[in-house]
Amino acid sequence: MTKKRKYLSYSLPFILFFMMLIDGHISSRILAVLSVPMDFTSNLLLLFLMFATFQMEKPYLVITSGVIGLLYDSYFYNVVGINFILLPLIVLVMYALFEHVYPNTFTLILSFIVFVTALSLGRVLLLTIFNLTHTTVLDFFARTLAPTLIVNICLIAILVVPLKKMFNVGK
């Protein structure tokens, strides 16, 4: 294990926890400024999980994402299970995808868009199954998914190059 990877294995849970908190603040600040009937989620946590797949071992990151998902659920939803299930599943899909796809800037951006869409669809599906939300398909796409994708495409466009360097992706 390299020195950087060892350091990252100790600091990553704290970084992910911090990203979870920043996600909530970004989302609430943008909604407060816009004051329009939208509901979207910043996904810095998911972005850092995606880049961490290039440095961390699969069991470590799956377990860490499950713990962070549990904290996310208890902090934002007060219902345990949604992100506790979805984040480890998406991390497993990330590992499977990046075994077959070379991680250049273009594929990282497209992959992140797919992961954000999968996470948003999974959340609304689980929330609907457990009767925690009542939304129509049109409302979900227009008021949740579209704004979520716009915000997250802007985030990855800004952060893809620094994160590639930070996590040594594509070398």
Q: What rounded mean pLDDT belongs to the chain?
A: 90
Instruction: Pick 3 or 46 by higher pLDDT.
Output: 46
Instruction: Pick 33 or 165 by higher pLDDT.
Output: 165
The model's confidence at residue 4, banded by pLDDT at 50, 70 and 90, is: low
Distance separating alpha carbons of residues 110 and 13, to the nearest angstrom: 25
Question: Looking at residue 32, what is its pLDDT?
Answer: 79
The model's confidence at residue 171, banded by pLDDT at 50, 70 and 90, is: low
Report yes or no: 9 and 61 within 8 Å, Cβ to Cβ: no
pLDDT over 60 at 112, yes or no: yes
Report yes or no: 79 and 24 within 8 Å, Cβ to Cβ: no
The model's confidence at residue 145, banded by pLDDT at 50, 70 and 90, is: very high
Instruction: Pick 165 or 9 by higher pLDDT.
Output: 165
Crossing angle for the helix pair 44-52 and 105-129, to the nearest 10 degrees: 120
Cα(first)–Cα(last) distance of the chain, in Å?
17
pLDDT tens column, 8-53: 888 999 999 999 999 988 888 887 787 777 787 889 999 999 999 9
